[in-house]
Amino acid sequence: YKSEYDVSNWEEIPVPSNWQMLGYEVPIYTNFKYPFKKSAPAVMKTPKKFWTTYLNRNPVGSYRRNFTIPENWRGRQIFLGFDGVNSAFYVWVNGELVGYAEDSRLPSECNITKYLRPGENILAVEVYRFSDGSYLEDQDFWRMSGIFREVKLISRDSVFVRDFYIKTELDKNYQDALLKIRLQIANYNPAPKFALAEITLLDDSGKRLIDKLNGKVEVPSQGESELILEQLVKNPKKWSAEEPNVYKMLLSLKDQAGKTLEVIPWNLGFRSVEIKNAQLLVNGKPIYIKGVNRHEIDPNLGQVVTLERMIQDIKIMKQNNINAVRTAHYPNVSKWYELCDLYGIYLWDEANIESHGYGTYIPQRISAWSDFKQAHIERVSRMIERDKNHPSVIIFSLGNEAGVGPNLASARKWAKTNYPELIIAYEGGFMYGGLHSDIFSSMYTRPHQLVPFYKLWGRGKPYILVEYAHAMGNSTGNFQEYWDIFESHPNLQGGFIWDWVDQAFRKKSEDGKEFWAYGGDYGDKPNDDNFCTNGLVLPDRTPHPGLKEVKKVYQNIKVEPIDLLNGKLSIKNKFFFSDLSFVQGYWELTEDGIVIKKGRLPQLFTPAQTSEELTIKELSLERIKSELKPKAEYHLKLWFSLAMDMPWAEKGHIIAFEQFRIPYPNPLPLMKREPEFWSYPEVKLNETDSAFIITGENFKVMIGKKSGAIESWEVNHRPLITSALVPNFWRAPTDNDRGNGMPKKLKVWKNAGENREVLKITATQEMPQVLRIQCLIKLSAGNSKLTNTYDIFGNGEILVRFDLKPDPDLPVIPRIGMQMSIPGEFDNVQWFGRGPEENYWDRKTGYPVGIYSMKVDELFFPYIEPQESGNRTETRWVSFTNDQGFGILVKAEERTHPRIGDYLLPKYKVIDEGLATIDFSAWHFKMEELEKNKHPYQIKRSEDITVNIDYKQMGVGGDDSWLAWPHKEYQLPSKNYYYYQFWLIPKLK
């Protein structure tokens, strides 16, 4: 730091940056384990030998740069500001110590005027990776360091506005507003000075709402004076996340002669936030928090966030109906708040306090240690002082997972003493009666627990989940269940999903393959593996498939059927402030997935929180009955898109949809008629010691006696399968599965299909055109029995029936289905079912039924750690073909089929006559590749395609990723009897 010290051989480094992202030591990911020896306040004690910090106990980054003050700054006050430095740092100017600071997520600023000299100056900064402040920054994120936010030089007159506070007090009708602005004006001059403050308020067209609201005050030498300006404003446009109306405030400060000293622009929003009747109200309305937790993370830059990345986040959130963000778990870059003001996002602004590694309960928690009291107060007070004027900030939080204690009580007391009108919350809002919080809050409370938990502990406060729906990997199941409960209880007002973005960095393997790196990939120890990847989007902001479910559940337009057969519907506007004039509605009617009618809904003006009825006359049974086809399936889909461009999306962007299956009556009576297979060519059976070989005019099928499986299937001497169609009861564990112990607890099912024993296999030919092979199979899972039946018809089609009687003493079954491989050229996939993104039993409301087409590779989603992926539910049929259209059609069959059940094979037992659907997935690799590899790039690609044809697999879950299982209604209990059937049909063109 000494001016004469030679740094000519030092390397250049960009600022802002995390030095770990530039190759200087490594980032460390832990959830809440301190990456150094825990011994507060010390960070230099000896950790375990294998820890990263054993050799590099507390790295220090030394920064130097020269700068020159502009000539026109002479005689002014010069301030040096650091927006974010991790974790602690000293600052020198021209060799003189200026100061020391902690709290890596808030600005530190000092007046350096007296340290400056004419010409070139030298700034030196010494940054410590760890400090006693690190004990309060134990969030679930990467442990990184450096000057990672902006560094600023600011020039101001010797008389300037040091601070201001805006209050917009709405009247009891939430119409007119009393605008109050409290100014703190500082004077660095040796003599008192008069100052004139003037406020101008402009709307977005430049029209003046307030013209020169002003006041004058004398400011003592080297002191401050307070000035309060007030004005009643008649019915200004209000700010909300739905309608983020802001006015441009110009705060001018002038001297006694009328010379302008400075002009401060600010985006002012008129809004009120309060709690009444145990509800959180914005502008008098009990809003819902449709939120996410968001860490500041960039896949290339670490914890440096650019303007472009912030705007990208906000736009994707708004496009997916997310209206709120918890700044987990620290104050964000200042620009973030300005963007949320402009785009419309509610913010739960959180102090940089988490001491999770020291425990959150008595007696070990740091929030009770007296020597950390002032640090708690300052981290809360400085956050409030910085962010108090942003209309987007509706709640201030004392921090996260720091237990309860007198330090947090003192921080809350400071907030309520200085700003009694603010809503103060805390993650532990349920603990010890919610002593520190105006809001009752909890995390990962399961849907069925919400109401009893609130009744027991709520104490007349609004209930908001600070974390829920843990979105780690293939997750976000049973999300709709949360909102069914929220919307049924007035005091339950939503929550923040954990979390927004996978915290992983772009990295290359030794052989040059790019992948997303998580804990341990840098050799960092200790680490918590991939527990940092809990996002709704990948690090580059590619959406996870589950984001579509969130968008659907969070949508603010609901359509309810009144009389579908006559096209009568109810449209409910779930917005709190906006009518529906900004959207345009459309509808379409499909027949077996094909659009047969479509139209545009009339312009809607439905006021907020009301409903209106409408009738689509084209859908009435009287009009359409002559066009109906026997046994066809009809769906009505409605969607609502932006009728104009918005800052966050273009005109035409869809914000909501609904889909209904219309129960049109079958237009023709079901009459028994001669089945078409009477005209099929004959089939012949050739039995060998090892197999039944069935041949027809242009096909051959071989079913192994030992395997009980279709081992080969050829049409026109071309193979349609490359490995046998075998029972499968396993799935590659998801992150949620790994967390709840599924691989161990359900391992009895892993090889149950592979280790099977054929107890009996028979061939029956009751007529020349069809032959049945039936296999009784004992699975290796206890006393579980499986009967597979194959009916091979003379046209080459095969009806596969699957009857499973599990051992009732065994645990639930991960998956019930069959698996085979098909030629790699059959990689054109088309299906009629839910899509286009992957969907699961407990995550399917956001994926409408339709006909979709993709390549096999596009079906798979590359979660950061490989796991079950690519499933599609409620599939009526799916085809796999080459570019010439040759391949296989798999078609779900009804639980009883007239052609066989009524005419030929009365042995079929009717179990369920519901809608015939299957689940399917397909990959260009074996399923075991998903289990044994840690990153997608390690998956060994197969030429052939693995195809799963399933009755179902259990849901993916999502309440949390460490204990919770899929809800019982989305499990496959072993006490049940399972049965499904499907057709394998050759596609010749």
Q: Helices (H) and strands (E) in the chain — how many of each?
A: 12, 56
Both structure tokens of 249:
């405030």
Both structure tokens of 492:
């339950």
Note whether 482 and 445 are within 8 A (CB): no
Q: How many residues does the chain have?
A: 989
H-type helices in 603-722, by residue range? Answer: 621-624
Alpha-carbon distance 358 to 93, whole Å?
37
Q: What spatial distance separates the first Cα and last Cα of the chain, rounded to whole Å? A: 77
Query: What DSSP character marks residue 198?
Result: E
Note whether 911 and 802 are within 8 A (CB): no
Q: DSSP for 435-478?
A: TT-SSEEEES--GGGHHHHHHHH-TT--EEEEEES---SS--TT
Computed on alpha carbons and rounded to an integer, the radius of gyration of the chain in Å comes to: 33
514 classed as catalytic: no
Alpha-carbon distance 437 to 431, whole Å?
10
H or E stretch at 858: helix 856-859
Alpha-carbon distance 777 to 788, whole Å?
8
Alpha-carbon distance 379 to 353, whole Å?
7
CA nearest to 132, candidates 24, 38, 59: 38
Note whether 960 and 469 are within 8 A (CB): no
Alpha-carbon distance 607 to 595, whole Å?
31
Strand residue runs (E) in 119-205: 120-128, 141-143, 146-147, 151-156, 159-170, 177-187, 193-202
Helices 450-457/479-486 angle, 10° precision: 40
CA nearest to 791, candidates 649, 901, 865: 901
Catalytic residue among 401, 711, 865, 929: 401
Alpha-carbon distance 625 to 603, whole Å?
28
Name, in order, each residue with C-beta under 8 angstroms of 636's C-beta and a sequence gap of 6 or more. 564, 587, 588, 589, 616, 619, 659, 660, 662
Q: How many C-beta atoms surround the C-beta of residue 903 within 10 A?
A: 16
Strands in 568-573's sheet, in edge-to-edge order, are 557-563, 568-573, 611-615
Both structure tokens of 122:
């030298």
467 classed as catalytic: yes
Q: DSSP for 797-855?
A: -EEEEEEEE--TTS---SEEEEEEEE-TT--EEEEEEE-SS--BTTB-TTS-EEEEEEE
Strand residue runs (E) in 323-462: 324-326, 346-350, 393-397, 424-425, 440-443
Catalytic residue among 467, 481, 549, 837: 467
Maximum alpha-carbon separation in the chain:
113
Catalytic residues: 401, 467
